[in-house]
Amino acid sequence: MQYYFKATDGNEYGPIGTEEVRDWQVQERMNGDSLIRYEDSDEWKPLREFPEFETIESQSTPPPVSVTSNNPAAATHFAPHRGALILTFGILSIVCCFPFGIAAWIMGNNDMQQIEAGMMDPSGKGITNAGKICGIIGTILGILCTGFQLLSFLLELSQM
């Protein structure tokens, strides 16, 4: 069975399998109040109303993991961030090749949504946001430069 999960910020994630939902419960990324729905349904219900997950909810869970801990093992349930790659693409878009800016902009936006939803390592928030901003700037500069070159070419062509 596949499910969709609605985070507290309104973002939807899925489809995810039963095992992943159970893992997220153990990791305390989801609890009985978390809203999920079946893949083929539009009705959101609290997790505690799904009989297949009530055994996990009734078991005692380990103490919550602190995200701000300096212990690298404490953040193992987060997906790794791609901040360095996004920043590299953003800088390349400003310096030489604006299509890298489009990639940095899209990847940065997706990663920032995942960081805000608690799905990705929050330590990469600053560098990911910087890469996204560089990507936006590089894309805008690339479009403007391409427009000016096209305009210059058309003016030169019309004078022939």
Question: How far is it, in rounded angstroms, from Cα 150 to Cα 136?
Answer: 21
Question: How far is it, in rounded angstroms, from Cα 147 to Cα 49?
Answer: 56
Question: How far is it, in rounded angstroms, from Cα 157 to Cα 41?
Answer: 59
pLDDT tens sequence across 60-104: 445 555 555 555 544 457 888 899 999 999 999 999 888 999 999
* CATH entry 3.30.1490.40 includes domain 2-58: yes
pLDDT tens sequence across 112-142: 999 888 888 888 899 999 999 999 999 999 9
3-state secondary structure of 2: strand
The closest alpha carbon to 113, from 141, 81, 89, belongs to 81
* Annotated domain spans of the chain: 2-58, 83-158
